[in-house]
Amino acid sequence: MSAVARTWTGRSGPTSLLEVRDLEVIFTRRGRRDVRAVDGVSFSVDAGETVGIVGESGSGKSITSLAVMGLLPNRGCDVSGSIRFDGEEIATLGGERLRRLRKRFQMIFQDPYSSLNPRMTVAGIVGAALEIHGIGTRRERRERIAELLQLVGLPTRAAERYPHQFSGGQRQRIGVARALAVDPDLIVADEPVSALDVSIRAQILNLLVRLQDRLDLTYVVVSHDLAAVRRISDTVAVMYLGRIVELAPTVQLFRAALHPYTVALISAVLIPDPALQVGRRRIILTGEIPSPANPPTGCHFHTRCWLYQRLDQPERCRTERPPLADRGGGHAAACHFAEDVDGTPEQRQAMGRGVATAVGQATLAAAEAAAAVATVDLDVGDDGDGDVDDDPPLTTT
Amino acid sequence: MSLSEAEARVDTAVATEDVGGSLLKEAWRRLRRDPVAITGGAMVALFVLVAVIGPWIAPYGPSDRAGAVTPTMIPGPSSQFWFGLDDLGRDELSRVILGARQSLLVGVVSLVLGMIGGLTLGVLAGALGGWVDSLIMRIIDIVLAVPGLLFAIGVAATLGRSLQSVMIAIAVVNVPIFARLLRGQMLSQREADYVAAATSVGLRRRVVVFRHILPNSISPVIVQGTLTLATAIIDAAGLAFLGLGGTDPSVPEWGRMLADSQDYLSGAIHLAIFPGLAIVFAALGFTLFGERLREALDPKYRR
């Protein structure tokens, strides 16, 4: 572990709201091999900043977010390392102390259908946190709920309704309102838009950005959607098989990624501009992501790495875990041959001139499309449902 | 910015008419429009009504000699005795009517007892998990390995011949069914994000279990309860048929009436038909209603 501990792990200073050090999450099941879902992850998040964590499924990004939230099950799951929230160690914190601290960090969930209790009204869902932390009188709480609903762009009369009466996008707004109810400092969003219709995604992302400006929020956003992460993050951590392989300021990452995996990821993002897209070539990674129960030795990525092949399969990649080392400018990459990535045709093709901005524009384009859809919907939207999602309007008469 | 304007306008377009409500209200609305559910509900209502007001509407008392019979000549249905007479000259209609109360009583009491036991074990297993869960579930597996009616016969025979032992026997058979059902529901609900959300908001474990997990796990239990009433009535009849029911001959039981009719099947088939139909009627009513209730409560059938 010392190799990792000594290496650069992000800008950390007195302002860091969240500091994760050498986080390890191991799932143990009797009769089965232990699964090291998170393997020595370190990063820090400054107040007011947004850190995006990207990776494929199985990369450990969601587990990392659950660990930060203290939501991992007690049984069959070993968490080690340090998670400091505003200077307080929360990884080992349990019971009542943790429960009281919870109002300072909240979570937005991926699935707006399963994340809202179907038997509670919106007021009950949003207000539960206020009630449990004894915030305000009944009347003040009701006013606060109305205020929150307005804040996330829902009418106040939504309070008396049940989740099934809303569309996916609206449900996600309810989830956001719930997270905001206790006025948290940190919000962890696990794939906040990936369950939503493409036309709705930009709306929710914009909402998150707007709320951040207005309420001084700090975000950790977990997603497999590079474009979404690019849109809202200041810093991006790329995870692969439980490890952070690259950590860099967003602009930096999309301008010149230094890890072969990141380069491959970026090369796969579609750019809604044929002129730019035509000159690009996707780097196709061979095979599936290996099982976290039996990860490759050395660098986890070497089994699928294009650079490893290019460099004639250097032994170092198979035997030695590459440290997440600073390459200057707050840009860290865990690759023995990060210098060799810089300037390769693959990197140039993936990033290219204008691509860095274009990846962001992919989201913008989606936003415009959403606006168009929204306008259209208003014309036919008198079914009183207001859905712009794919789910059919609910008829209840 | 045009985007946020459009966004804002979309959002105000949330359901303008005041329709919908809680899931239970919606389920009730769907049930009321379902002819099968209405049929089942009506059959249940009739059964319960007869059980309650039976003594006042029965033309004869349970032990009254209403007409003359000989072992070879037992009159069938007539305008005077709609369901005919039994081997002792008692009015069959009156006995079927009065038997309803016994069936309902046994069904409801055994259901309630079975639910109390089953749900307690289910909540313990589902909420605590770990070794408590393992222990409870292994015991339940053992009990379920024995066929239900056989197990009930064993319990009733051990407890002695009485109505109480029939109730207890049927309740014991139902305990594992409810326990396993509730535990399974709670386990699947426990994985839902809203439970994690409730925890992350800072709710206590107890509150999460009783206010969030349990209410969302209970619908299948309600359905199972309705269906269990049907089997409880059949089981009660079965136990009475085998001579394990109540001992008082002045209290008619459908199962015992069926058993008694065996000796006269060739001459007086009506003695088997009418109690049999009564059992089928009551059980079918609960089954139809329960099945439709299941569909009405299931979000998958929601339109």
Q: Do A93 and A221 share a domain, yes or no?
A: yes
Q: Do A164 and A38 share a domain, yes or no?
A: yes
Q: Do A247 and A271 share a domain, yes or no?
A: no
Task: Show which of A218, A253, A288 is a domain's final residue.
Answer: A253
Please give the residue of chain B at the shortest CA–CA distance from A111.
B193
CA A389/CA A386 separation, integer angstroms: 9
Residue A69 lies in a domain: yes
CB-based contact, A371 to chain B, within 8 Å: yes
pLDDT, mean of residues A56-77: 87
Q: Do A137 and A198 share a domain, yes or no?
A: yes
Q: Do A226 and A129 share a domain, yes or no?
A: yes
Residue A396 lies in a domain: no
- Domain range for residue A325? 257-350
pLDDT digit string (tens) for A255-293? 888 899 999 888 887 777 777 777 777 788 877 788 888
Partner-chain contact B199 A128, CB within 8 Å: no
For an interface test with A, the pick among B3, B200, B300 (most A C-beta atoms closer than 10 Å) comes out as: B200
pLDDT digit string (tens) for A85-112? 988 888 877 778 888 888 889 999 999 8
pLDDT digit string (tens) for A137-154? 888 999 999 999 999 999
Q: Could you tell me if residue A328 is left (phi over 0), alpha (psi between -120 and 50 degrees) or otherwise beta?
A: left
Q: Do A80 and A193 share a domain, yes or no?
A: yes
pLDDT computed for residue B8 by the predictor? 44
Query: A44 has which bridge partners?
Result: A19
pLDDT computed for residue A396 by the predictor? 33
Residue type, B109: V
Query: A88 has which bridge partners?
Result: A85
CA B49/CA B99 separation, integer angstroms: 13
Task: Show which of A318, A334, A350 is a domain's final residue.
Answer: A350
Q: Do A129 and A144 share a domain, yes or no?
A: yes
Task: Show which of A238, A253, A268 is a domain's final residue.
Answer: A253
Asked whether this complex has an ipTM greater than 0.95, the answer is no
pLDDT digit string (tens) for A176-187? 999 999 889 999
Partner-chain contact A109 B11, CB within 8 Å: no
Residue A123 lies in a domain: yes
Average pLDDT, chain A: 81
State the greatest distance between any 2 C-alpha atoms of chain B, in Å, as a whole number: 97
Q: Do A27 and A79 share a domain, yes or no?
A: yes
Which residues in B lie closer than 8 A to residue A133 (C-beta atoms)? 202
pLDDT computed for residue A373 by the predictor? 46
- State the sign of the Cα–Cα–Cα–Cα dihedral B40, B45, B51, B55: negative
Query: Does A173 score more than 90 pLDDT?
Result: yes
CATH number of domain containing A67 = 3.40.50.300
CB-based contact, A326 to chain B, within 8 Å: no
Residue with tokens 């990624």: A257
Q: Do A133 and A265 share a domain, yes or no?
A: no
CA A22/CA A9 separation, integer angstroms: 10
Residue A370 lies in a domain: no
Partner-chain contact B129 A385, CB within 8 Å: no
Q: Do A169 and A265 share a domain, yes or no?
A: no
What is the rounded radius of gyration, in angstroms, for the C-alpha atoms of chain A?
22
Q: State how far residue A265 is from chain B, nearest Cα, in angstroms.
A: 28
Angle between helices A138-151 and A168-180 (to 10 degrees): 130
Backbone angles phi, psi at B144, to 5 degrees: -70, -20
Which residues in B lie closer than 8 A to residue A30 (C-beta atoms)? none
CB-based contact, A235 to chain B, within 8 Å: no
pLDDT digit string (tens) for A119-138? 889 999 999 888 888 888 88
CA B144/CA B141 separation, integer angstroms: 5
Backbone angles phi, psi at A192, to 5 degrees: -65, -20
Residue A136 lies in a domain: yes
A305 in helix, strand or coil? coil
Q: Do A289 and A313 share a domain, yes or no?
A: yes
For an interface test with B, the pick among A63, A93, A114, A160 (most B C-beta atoms closer than 10 Å) comes out as: A114
Which residues of chain B have a pLDDT value below 70?
A: 1-22, 66, 299-303
The count of domains in chain A is: 2
Q: State how far residue B14 is from chain A, nearest Cα, in angstroms.
A: 5
Residue B96 near residue B102, CB atoms below 8 Å: no
pLDDT computed for residue A22 by the predictor? 92
pLDDT computed for residue A384 by the predictor? 36
Q: How many CB pairs (< 8 A) connect A and B?
A: 144
Q: Do A246 and A282 share a domain, yes or no?
A: no
Residue A281 lies in a domain: yes
Backbone angles phi, psi at A119, to 5 degrees: -100, 5
Partner-chain contact A109 B16, CB within 8 Å: no
pLDDT digit string (tens) for A310-346? 888 898 999 999 999 888 888 999 999 988 888 788 8
Residue A386 lies in a domain: no
For an interface test with B, the pick among A63, A71, A119 (most B C-beta atoms closer than 10 Å) comes out as: A119
Partner-chain contact A132 B204, CB within 8 Å: yes
Residue A384 lies in a domain: no
pLDDT computed for residue A20 by the predictor? 93
